[in-house]
Structure 1
């Protein structure tokens, strides 16, 4: 559940959502490494995935009343905060995985 950043429950919810996002991304990148074993496969996936995702999120935020009509202003801010952190993970996790090789 998206919690307004002004609420006390925001940080624990955000950290839990961030941890879940990191786990899912690690799993996706791990599986993708098995599928494409070229040298920079996960880095390319991170870059292309971020580019496509950012474009899609831009469109969804632009059309907020159509796509997320029930979200409050605080929830939109919380979604945007999570989204920025998720894309940071989307770019950094592949670098970490590639560095470990």
Structure 2
């Protein structure tokens, strides 16, 4: 398996260790640090327990909300469809797009 080398895993794990939010991922982050929560994989030739199945459903429901938000932003803002910026710089672009999105939907404070 290819490891990710962009430092994001370390930064998120450090935030979780400091009492920050846990990071919810998909199964592609196998072997990630303690601060990450990912669905349980079905064991080869076995079944998941009821607790593992319920946990996977919760993780899936939470991830679905984030995936929907991401899709909405990418659909509305063409600039977000192919992003080649480093993760540290794209945050400002996404924040601006999100502010415009909320303004268009009448969700301003």
Greater RCO structure (CA 8 Å; 6+ sep): 1
TM over 0.5: no
For normalisation by structure 2, the TM-score amounts to 0.29
Q: Which has the larger Rg?
A: 2
Instruction: Give the structure with the higher percent helix.
Output: 1
